Amino acid sequence: MNVLIVYWHPEPASFNAAMLRTAQKTLLAQGHDVQTSDLGAQSFNPVSGRHNFTLAANAEYFKQQHEEQHAVEQHCFSDDVAAELEKLAWCDLLLFQFPLCWFAMPAMVKGWIDRIFVYQQTYCQEARYECGRFTDKQALLAVTTGDPKCMYEPDGAHGDMLGVLKPIHRGVLAMTGFQVLPPFIAYEPAELSEQERIVLLDQYQSRLENITRDTPLSIPPFKN
């Protein structure tokens, strides 16, 4: 299986970085091929705009979807966008690794989505959900939090974690056709002891060792 890990955390010694290393080592040991988009190390620009393209469809008025469709047809994406699109097409499993920020992706990861999930190549009006471009691919979120698990229970202050992640699971991944796997959540690792963090990494390793046996989340079909 080809695995693309899209990763961001500003600190190389963070628990997120430890999870990244665990994922890379475990997946390679299982015989999978792995590529990593380390957005910080790549100095990836998360801001979308005309710089996404080397040729303009309309130099007077910028509409991103129109420019993306033109770039798909004319093969005129910028080098950084083209490289990430190639990785995305290559992968069978798209794994996002990041710290939850304000109940969402960090801006750097959201910017990757904004620039790389391009109109016509990754989605269009007719190609969504079970008719999406990526129905042959799976996606997994590996996320850390700053608050304990009890706050993400159905009766917790933040509400159910699957509800928190719904805009990503459905609005980004399922909408483009991905089979969405249950997320791996590392709750407040900063408050854990070293031994507890080791146990958490072991649990993540075990999950990835059995990733091909995972059952995707149930997503209602798209009704036009």
| Band of residue 129 on the pLDDT scale cut at 50, 70, 90 | confident
Catalytic residue among 119, 123, 129, 152: 152
User: What average pLDDT does the chain have?
Assistant: 95
- CATH of region 2-42+83-212: 3.40.50.360
Give tens-digit pLDDT for 195-223: 999 999 999 999 999 999 999 999 888 87
Catalytic residue among 49, 51, 146, 171: 146
Three-state secondary structure string covering the chain: CEEEEEECCCCCCCHHHHHHHHHHHHHHHCCCEEEEEECCCCCCCCCCCHHHECCCCCCCCCCHHHHHHHHHHHCCECHHHHHHHHHHHHCCEEEEEEECECCECCHHHHHHHHHHCCECCCECCCCCHHHCCCCCCEEEEEEECCCCHHHHCCCCCCCCHHHHCHHHHHHHHHHHCCEECCCEEECCHHHCCHHHHHHHHHHHHHHHHCHHHCCCCCCCCCCC
146 catalytically annotated? yes
So where are the chain's domains? 2-42+83-212
Query: Residue range 155-183: average pLDDT?
Result: 95
Give tens-digit pLDDT for 63-105: 999 999 999 999 999 999 999 999 999 999 999 999 999 999 9
31 catalytically annotated? no
Query: Residue range 37-44: average pLDDT?
Result: 97
Catalytic residue among 32, 40, 158, 159: 158
